[in-house]
Amino acid sequence: MFRHEGWVCTWCNRPVMFAPVMKFLEREVRKSGRGERLSYYHAHWARAGAPLLDELGAVIDHVEAHSARGPSTEGNLATACAKCNGRKSAAPMAKWHERPQRKPIKGKYGEPQHWDGLSCVFVILAQRDPGGLTSSEKEWLKVLSGDQVIAEPSSHSLSYAVRYRRKRETIEL
Ligand SMILES: [Zn+2]
């Protein structure tokens, strides 16, 4: 899902990041013997404990909210940053557009070409220290390490549909 959309928020166009990588980065620093407290990772992505995740943690968002019977099929799912996801919550699309939005980013010199949400760092650190992985992290590792053999990003038609929709919305806003 994230890979399809180039790890960019569908709504505000900000780069998003794969949250567990921050946990592993924090662990790496700890392992090196440094004792200072770090606000890299917090289980609830709270600003106080993890400001980067509070802003840019990657979330899979339901375009039509799950609670409004929006399906969990790929066509109804979109990559979102934590802030847009929090703002949108369960609002139906029509209502959500009336809410104050995070101003979408526009790249003056083009869009990110190879941003991966730091997922590659996650794969490297998780493979190095697989003992501490939660079951969902193991699943992610399986999926994300599969990326290594894919030389080109998937050209699944959905990615084009979503990008197209995102562009259109950016213009409308
Ligand atoms: Zn966003």
CA atoms within 13 A on the CB side of 120: 9
Q: How far is the CA of 125 from the centre of ligand 1 (A)?
A: 27
Q: What are the residue ranges spanned by the domains of the chain?
A: 20-172
Q: Cβ-count burial of 16 within 10 angstroms (0-12 exposed, 13-18 middle, 19+ buried)?
A: buried
Instruction: Name every residue whose Cβ is closer than 8 Å to that of residue 30 and which is 6 or more positions away in sequence.
Output: none
pLDDT tens figures, 135-149:
999 999 998 888 555
Q: How far is the CA of 81 from the centre of ligand 1 (A)?
A: 4
Q: Residue 92 has what pLDDT?
A: 66
Q: How far is the CA of 145 from the centre of ligand 1 (A)?
A: 25
Report, as ranges of residue numbers, the positions in the chain whose pLDDT lies below 50: 150-173
Residue % of the chain over a pLDDT of 90: 47
Q: Residue 76 has what pLDDT?
A: 75
| Residue pair 141/148 in contact by the 8 Å Cβ criterion | no
pLDDT tens figures, 88-107:
765 666 676 666 678 888 88
Backbone angles phi, psi at 8, to 5 degrees: -130, 140
Torsion of CA 169, 118, 21, 160, to 10 degrees: 40
| Residue pair 101/12 in contact by the 8 Å Cβ criterion | yes
Output the pTM of the full model. Answer: 0.73
Q: Residue 116 has what pLDDT?
A: 94
Q: How far is the CA of 147 from the centre of ligand 1 (A)?
A: 24
Q: How far is the CA of 30 from the centre of ligand 1 (A)?
A: 31
Q: How far is the CA of 28 from the centre of ligand 1 (A)?
A: 28
Rg (CA), the chain: 17
Q: Residue 126 has what pLDDT?
A: 94
* Spacing of C-alpha 87 from chain mean position: 15
d(CA 24, CA 133): 10
Q: Residue 167 has what pLDDT?
A: 45
* CA-closest candidate to residue 85, choices 116, 124, 45: 45
Q: How far is the CA of 171 from the centre of ligand 1 (A)?
A: 15
| Residue pair 87/72 in contact by the 8 Å Cβ criterion | no
Q: How far is the CA of 9 from the centre of ligand 1 (A)?
A: 5
